[in-house]
A = this chain, B = another copy of it.
Amino acid sequence: MTASFFPIDTPIPFEGPDSTNPLAFRHYDPDQIVMGKPMAEHLRFAVAYWHSFVWDGSDPFGGQTFQRDWFPGDTMDKAKRRADVAFEMFRLLRVPFFCFHDHDVRPEGASLQESHARLNEIADYLERKMDATGVKLLWGTANLFSHARWMAGAATNPDPDVFAYAASTVRACMDVTHRLGGENYVLWGGREGYETLLNTDLARELDQMGRFLSMVVEYKHKIGFPGQILIEPKPQEPTKHQYDYDVATVYGFLRRYGLEGEVRVNIEQGHAILAGHSFEHEIALAQALDIFGSVDMNRNDYQSGWDTDQFPNNVPEVALAYYHILKGGGFTRGGTNFDAKLRRQSIDPQDLLIAHIGGMDTCARGLKAAAAMIEDGALQGPLDARYAGWDSDAARAMLRPGAALDDIANRAEAQGLSPAPRSGQQELLENIVNRYI
């Protein structure tokens, strides 16, 4: 790196809760032991390349606000400068992982082959930087939505040539992800969805998407990629209806195409909110269905109907997310990715650091609160008590195959059942959570 971008050179220190230094952690102490292992290993933080190093601050109503010396990123030199700054930030923040799309790290070539050649060249560059810094790849992915060729979808495109083009692109990205030791490979639906049913054959497009995903899984096994394949649900935007609407929808899709043992979900808080769910709902549901994989820890503004991708800052919400993550055993290959962008008015280099610091501290507080609730059994105890009636043999028998409506109904009538309601104690449980935050 020839010139420094950030105003500091020393990694962000942990200074404890009383610090007022905006460039210090107050809660994230990577080596602090929580439930038996270092906080860093629980959280597995990752920075998203695109928002922090590719996006220029534009929105539908205005153009670039960020001045970065690697904009526009249309040459390989600019791409390398961008990588230099990115790895400098990873070092300063002490994050162990990053994530990228092909489109983030190299300028698109004039042909598929040239694009792939550039991707491989920049992968060499990234590989050296990863080796030098120890920063690892949480996941790689392909951008199948920005170029005009994807405007009607990638795998679900009405044009089979686009499907084939997507196959080539995804292969290249999987190859690079595998080479760089990626922990996961992610497919976010991009433009797999529709703008109007009037020009859409839903059944056909779902089958195209199912077949494409099957081939991705087969290719993973062929090349021996040990990572997880992850789908990232989102209900809408850019399309009016995204096929990977939410966790429940993705689960049904995986079952339909026999992929439920092969593919897991990467859940984003912002997308959960847009789908009308809480973040913890999506996490808990994915765990109940055994498809939980990883998270994108970025919030949506509750008042905004579009994807705002903001850094998390509400500790109680984040605590409930980690509560369910820890309860399900924590991350294996997944992690906490900040798919978050600065507000477009936050134009200073240090805003990038400050935003990540705030997000990491929020997560660290949430994790500690969640761990304490688990260690105390603060919520599990009342939960077990609530369902204790189901512990009896007679009760459990009703749920076993072979139990018949007739028999149960006969018994209910013979016994003259008249069950008495019991308090759900919601307010008590909410107060208990607040003891930990």
Interface residues of A in 334-374 (CB under 8 A from B): 342-348, 351, 354-355, 357-358, 361-362
Tell me the smallest distance from the CB of A339 to a CB of chain B, in Å. Answer: 13
- Chain B: which residue is nearest A196 at the CB level? B426
Is residue A10 within 8 Å, beta carbon to beta carbon, of the partner chain? no
Decide yes or no whether A248 CB sits under 8 A from chain B.
yes
Stretch at the interface among A1-9, A35-43, A85-93, A280-288: A280-288
A147 lies within 8 A of B252 (CB): no
Return A312 CB to nearest CB of chain B, in Å: 10
Option from B57, B315, B405, B429 in Cβ contact (under 8 Å) with A148: B57
**CB-nearest residue of chain B relative to A308?**
B240
Cβ contact of A305, chosen from B281, B305, B404, cutoff 8 A: B305
Instruction: Give the residue among A148, A161, A403, A408 with the most B Cβ atoms within 10 A.
Output: A148
Cβ contacts under 8 Å, A358 to chain B: 427, 430-431, 434
Tell me the nearest residue of chain B to A309, going by C-beta. B60
Q: Mark the stretch among A119-127, A130-138, A149-157, A178-186 that contacts chain B.
A: A149-157
Contacts of A191 in B (CB 8 A): 61-62
How many copies of this chain are found per oligomer? 4
Q: List 11 A-B contacts (CB under 8 A).
A: A60-B60, A152-B422, A158-B389, A170-B409, A197-B284, A198-B433, A202-B285, A204-B390, A237-B306, A240-B303, A249-B252
Report whether A346 and B425 are in contact in the complex, using a CB–CB cutoff of 8 Å: yes
Q: Does A33 contact B (CB under 8 A)?
A: no
CB pair A159–B419 under 8 Å, yes or no, is yes
* A171 to B278 Cα, complex, angstroms: 35
Besides the contacts A152-B422, A168-B412, A218-B405, what 19 more A-B pairs have beta carbons closer than 8 Å? A63-B147, A160-B395, A161-B389, A168-B413, A171-B406, A172-B409, A195-B426, A197-B284, A197-B324, A199-B424, A202-B288, A211-B403, A246-B249, A252-B252, A345-B423, A346-B423, A346-B424, A351-B428, A354-B428
Cα(A400)–Cα(B145), bound, Å: 25
Of the candidate stretches A74-82, A224-232, A261-269, A380-388, the one touching chain B is: A380-388
State how many residues of chain A have any CB contact under 8 Å with chain B: 161
**Does any Cβ of B come within 8 Å of A52's Cβ?**
no
Q: Is A236 an interface residue (CB 8 A)?
A: yes
A197-B281, A198-B429 given; A235·B276 CB < 8 A: yes
One of B165, B201, B235, B423 near A351 (C-beta < 8 A): B423
Does the CB pair B424–A345 fall under 8 Å?
yes
Q: Which residue of B lies closest to A392 (CB)?
A: B160
CB of A346 to closest CB in B, whole Å? 5
Contact A198 B379 (CB under 8 A): yes
A295 adjacent to chain B (CB < 8 Å): no
> In whole angstroms, what is the CA distance A361 to B342 when docked?
33
Bound Cα distance from A324 to B202, whole angstroms: 11
Residues of B within 8 A of A307 (CB): 60
Tell me whether A387 and B201 are in contact (CB under 8 A).
yes
Please report the C-alpha to C-alpha distance between residue A385 and residue B419 in the assembled complex, in whole angstroms: 53
Q: Tell me the smallest distance from the CB of A401 to a CB of chain B, in Å.
A: 8
The answer on a CB contact under 8 Å between A59 and B425 is: no
Q: B274 to A427, Cβ gap below 8 A? A: no
Q: Tell me whether B158 and A427 are in contact (CB under 8 A).
A: no
A167 within 8 A of B: yes
Known interface pairs A160-B390, A208-B399, A303-B278; A426-B198 also in contact (CB < 8 Å): yes
